[in-house]
Amino acid sequence: MSLPDIHALYAATDTTWPSASISEIGGWIIKDGAGGGKRVSAAIQIDPTANIETAETAMRTIGQDQLFQIRTGEEQLDSRLQERGYQLFDPVVLLVAPVADLQKLNCDQLTTTPNADMIKIWADGGIGPSRLNVMARANCPKAYIHFDNKAVAYAAIHNGICMAHAVEVSEDHRRQGLGKQIMHRVADWANLQGAEFLAVITVIENIAARTLYKNLGMSEVGNYHYRIKR
């Protein structure tokens, strides 16, 4: 089975982890993240000839940092931003596998809203109310999945791709295989929803997460990073 291309994964990411609002201005997608982090706040280029100053002005107008997401094939934009003094920040990798390769268990530990134990695990991992708001506003099939309230994930589907976001394991229960268990549960839910692929994003520096996903048979298929003006 051929894996989805990187542009399909970018679209799934944007839909399942949405900004509070977006607008197209002068060849850019300008995102209002409402405090939900870089992924929902960074400007994205849609016209290679777009003026960088246009995006900078738009981001300042809504009170956000001058932050750009650089995707595969945007080397020219990356170079232009570097020349303007923008620093490289948080390179990430996207991994994907067929849902059928990961489905193993019965997914009976999911909710339509996160419970108190799930919220605490996320909070301990730095995922607070603003990011919970990102999950809440996603307008697509989604679920909050846990494993015995020790590991959690938020999962959502766009065009047959299930994105697993905010995968966290309680600090007291790490290195016990729970990351693997929660991913199997996400895959099982995705299968029930008819999704073909399961994808996840992690920062390149997170060797433990990348090892987990590769051991599950997931393939690295693309990347992106940010440029920010300090």
Last residue of a domain, one of 54, 72, 92: 92
Task: Kindly report, residue by residue over 151-179, the tens digit of the pLDDT.
Answer: 999 999 999 999 999 999 987 777 777 88
Query: Does residue 138 sit in the same domain as residue 203?
Result: yes
Determine the Cα–Cα distance for residues 172 and 157; give it in Å rounded to an integer.
30
Is 128 among the domain residues?
yes
Is 4 among the domain residues?
no
Give pLDDT, residue 6: 93
In terms of Cα–Cα distance, which of 190, 189, 110, 204 is closest to 152?
A: 110
Last residue of a domain, one of 92, 125, 155: 92
Is 228 among the domain residues?
no
Last residue of a domain, one of 92, 127, 154: 92
Query: Does residue 63 sit in the same domain as residue 127?
Result: no
Q: How many domains does the chain have?
A: 2
Query: Does residue 144 sit in the same domain as residue 212?
Result: yes
Is 7 among the domain residues?
no
Using CA atoms, how far residue 148 sits from 26, 108, 111, 151, in Å, is 48, 10, 12, 7
CA dihedral of residues 96, 170, 135, 63 (deg, nearest 10): -100
Query: Does residue 111 sit in the same domain as residue 216?
Result: yes
Domain that holds residue 132: 95-222
Determine the Cα–Cα distance for residues 77 and 67; give it in Å rounded to an integer.
13
Determine the Cα–Cα distance for residues 133 and 118; give it in Å rounded to an integer.
14
Is 61 among the domain residues?
yes
Give pLDDT, residue 175: 76
Is 8 among the domain residues?
no
Query: Does residue 100 sit in the same domain as residue 208?
Result: yes
Query: Does residue 60 sit in the same domain as residue 126?
Result: no
Q: Are 9 and 94 in contact (CB under 8 A)?
A: yes
Query: Does residue 41 sit in the same domain as residue 129?
Result: no
Q: Residue 109's pLDDT band (boundaries 50, 70, 90)?
A: low
Determine the Cα–Cα distance for residues 11 and 156; give it in Å rounded to an integer.
12
Is 103 among the domain residues?
yes
Report residue 52: phi and psi, to 5°.
Answer: -60, -35
Is 227 among the domain residues?
no
Query: Does residue 100 sit in the same domain as residue 211?
Result: yes
Query: Does residue 173 sit in the same domain as residue 120?
Result: yes
Determine the Cα–Cα distance for residues 80 and 69; give it in Å rounded to an integer.
13
User: Does the reported pTM lie above 0.95?
Assistant: no
Report residue 154: phi and psi, to 5°.
Answer: -105, 130
Average pLDDT value for the chain = 93
Helix (H) or strand (E) holding 120: helix 116-124
Query: Does residue 76 sit in the same domain as residue 182?
Result: no
Query: Does residue 174 sit in the same domain as residue 105?
Result: yes
pLDDT beyond 90 at 189 = yes
Task: Kindly report, residue by residue over 66-86, the tens digit of the pLDDT.
Answer: 999 999 999 999 999 999 999
